[in-house]
Structures are given as structure tokens and as C-alpha cells.
A and B are shown apart, each in its own frame.
Chain A
Amino acid sequence: MTIWRQIAILFRLQLRDEMRTGEVTAVVVPFGAIALLVIPMAVGIETTLLSRIGPGLFWAVVLLFGIVVTQRRTAAASPAHRDALSLLGVDPAARFAATALASAILLLGFEIATGLAMIVLYDPVVVGWGWLAMVLPLVALGLGMLGTVAGSVADGRGPLAPLLVAPLAIPILLGAAQASEGLRLGVGILRWVLVLALVDVVLALVGVLTARPLEGTSS
């Protein structure tokens, strides 16, 4: 069986698991929206300020709740499942790719849902909405891959994965925030889109190349 077929099967499995548990859609998304709702209560209804800080707060919420999304209890993640997949001949790189892609799709859904909440609550000024169609998936993919690698490194050791993701996500958060600021000011953001794409390529290489050593079953 090709690695692409393995990725497709495991990717569908992860999304089916989410459809049945609703861990992201029913829990993480509402909490993300609530986080965006609470902040205006803290700073007061100052529309100019809210409009200015809205996109930045949105990306902070995406990062913080994105960690929760990537560290969710994924299908086929227990040691027994990993052993079974290894004995079936599943390539560790296929597991990484499928998990990262599924996380990216869920994160993209999270971004869209909380993004709409942010627009309603903060009324941000954005010029060039089309660019967001590139920025949102690049951020989702980057966080999905970073979270998957961090989850493998942490291997169930409690808070280690979030501690790894938060600092390593700075280039992604920086690129996303600068792109948003560029859209607010109406200036070109191509270089920030390229930064996000470059970070994604690096993370994809790191994920694929470390999948087998992190699996720990190459006897």
C-alpha cells in the first residue's frame, strides 16, 4: 500500500473520530468564541480600540486554542494503537501527515468560526480579504504540524507539548499578525505569506524526518 493511501485512510479516520466526539466543534470552538467575547468586557466598549486590537487577539486565541485542538485525544494515538499500526506496516510519516492534516482542517474550521465572531465583536478594518484565504490555511497547517510534532515529542507527558508549541509557534503567530496588520493598513503582505509558507515547508520536513525516530519502534 502506498504512503498516500495510508495518509488518506488515517486522515478520514481522524475526521470521523471528530465527527463522533465533537471534541473540537462542540467544546473548543465555543470556548474560543467566549474568549473573544470576554476581552471587550475587560477593555470596555471602545470601538476604535477594539477594531485595532481585534485581529491580534484573534491570532492569540487561535494559538492558545489551537494547542488544545492539536493535543486533542486523537484516534489511534494510544501506545496499543501505535503498535497495531506499526505491525500493519503503516509508515510513521503517514501517521504524522494524516494527524497534521486532520488538525489543520479542524484548526481552519476553528479559525473561520472564531474569525466570524471576531468580525462581529470587534468590527476590524481589513483591506484585501482574498489574502486571508491564503493566510488562514497556512497558519492552520503550520500549527497542525507543529502540534503533531510536539505531541510526539511529549508522548503523553502532560504539559510538555503546549510548552513546546507556544514558543515554537512564534514565527507563525508573527507572520499571521503582521499579515493582518498589513491588511488593516492596506499594504502588501506577500512577504509575510511567504514567511508562513516557508515555516510550513520547514515543519513538514521536520515532521516527516522525525516521525520514525519519535515512533520509537525501529528495532
Chain B
Amino acid sequence: MPGQHIVDLHGVAVRRPGTLILREVSLQVAPGEVIGLFGANGSGKSTLLRVLATLERPSAGGGTVLGATLGTDAVESIRPRIALVAHEPALLANLSLEENLRLFAALGGRASGRVMPVLVEVGLGGAAGRRAAICSNGMRRRAEFARVALAEPDLLLLDEAHVGLDVAAGALIGRIVAAVTDRGGAVVLVSHERERVEGLIDRSATLIDGRLEVG
């Protein structure tokens, strides 16, 4: 979608009982752009990612994500174009890594023939039959990236994606991010470790007590 922002938020606020988590957040993300989102614990980073994923309704303000206006039914049609890798893995513990990806492929309308190639791509070809419950945190993270590769999203949201990963897996994030931006998609990457993601991002934004300061 040339010329159109993938994310365009204006004055977004998110209120929970007794707390204002996000205040007057405005953010624009262009196609092909990678934004690094930083901030202290509890500053609202994960909540902002959920707003961008259309999973959290803003209490005030609004905007568009992939052209769909937040707060309308239109967001349901663009959700399959968004991938979120959150703190907690979305993998089902009692399924093998391959079964997990086959499930995501089936529900997402993706070809199941791509499941094994993406598992090999993230270095899990030999562990495809292993249940997610007995995989290490690093393996589960890699499997999450396989899920992203399978989904081919236009907006990728990574929440502390580097945590618990070795250097090789860190390079894998770079490839996943590049694959999204090469297709004209955008990436918002939350991290505490600015130095680990510095080479990946085009610009940064910092949340301080729910207010966003764009760098």
C-alpha cells in the first residue's frame, strides 16, 4: 500500500480501572520501516503492542492499522495480516512443534506444505516431532519465529523477542524482520536491550509513564 502508513495512531489512551496506561500516544509507521520501542517495566510497551495488534481497544483517541480504523469491525479482516510474538508463547504445550505449525497453517489458511521448510529455516527441522512442553525456551522462541514466517505478516510485533536467545537465534530475528520489510511490511520491536536491536531498527520511540517520545 504505497504512500499509506501501516500504523497511524493519534492521541491513543488506554485506561484500566484506576490507571491510565497509555496517554496521548501518536505514532506513524511507514511501509518497510522498523521501529524500536523502548521503555522501563510498566511503561505501557506491551499494551501499545496489543493496541497495534487490534487486540486492545483504545479508551480514547484512535487511528488506523493496515488501513482499518481501530474500534470498528474492519479490524477483524486485517488481523490475519498481523503477527504478534508476545512474552508468553502461543504454542500449545501438548502438540509437537510440527503439529502446532500445522494448526496455525490450517486456521490461517496457509499451505501445510510450508510447515517443514519453515521449521528447517529456523533450525528446528530435527525437533519437529518434539512436544512444545518439553522444548527449551529458546526452541519455543524459534518456533514462534517459524509461526511468523508461515504467516507472512504485513505488520510484525515483537515483544522482547531477544530474551533467552543465543547469538545465532538473534541473527534469525534479523532475517525474519528483513523478510517482512522486504515485502513492504513494517515491524515494531519492543526490547529492553537497545544495543541488541540497534542494528535492526530505523528509528526508536520511548514510552515513559504511558507517554510516547518518538526519536
Interface of A toward B, CB cutoff 8 Å:
1, 6, 9, 13, 16-17, 20-21, 75-76, 78-81, 83-90, 217-219
Within 8 Å CB of A16, what residues of B?
94-95
Within 8 Å CB of B51, what residues of A?
219
A219 to B79, CA, bound (A): 11
Contact A80 B71 (CB under 8 A): no
Q: Can you list 8 contacts pairing A with B, beta carbon distance less than 8 Å?
A: A21-B94, A75-B94, A76-B92, A84-B147, A88-B107, A89-B80, A89-B108, A219-B55
* Residue B134 is within 8 A (CB to CB) of chain A in the complex: no
Within 8 Å CB of A217, what residues of B?
54-56
Which residue on B lies nearest to A81, using beta carbons?
A: B90
* Distance in Å: Cβ of A80 to nearest Cβ of chain B: 4
A16 to B93, CA, bound (A): 12
A86 to B79, CA, bound (A): 7
A25 to B109, CA, bound (A): 33
Partner of A6 from B71, B73, B82, B107 at Cβ < 8 Å: B107
* Distance in Å: Cβ of B145 to nearest Cβ of chain A: 14
Contact B109 A1 (CB under 8 A): yes
Partner of A87 from B80, B88, B106 at Cβ < 8 Å: B80
Within 8 Å CB of A87, what residues of B?
53, 55, 79-80, 82-84
* A84 with B104, Cβ < 8 A, contacts A75-B92, A219-B56 known: yes
Contact B108 A81 (CB under 8 A): no
Contact A9 B79 (CB under 8 A): no
Which residue on A lies nearest to B72, using beta carbons?
A: A219
Contact B88 A80 (CB under 8 A): yes
Partner of A89 from B76, B106, B147 at Cβ < 8 Å: B76
* Residue B21 is within 8 A (CB to CB) of chain A in the complex: no
* Residue B35 is within 8 A (CB to CB) of chain A in the complex: no
Within 8 Å CB of A219, what residues of B?
51, 54-58, 70-71, 75
A155 to B83, CA, bound (A): 24
Contact A218 B92 (CB under 8 A): no
Most buried by A among B75, B79, B107, B147: B107
Closest 7 CB pairs of A and B: A84-B90, A219-B57, A80-B88, A88-B107, A89-B80, A20-B94, A88-B108
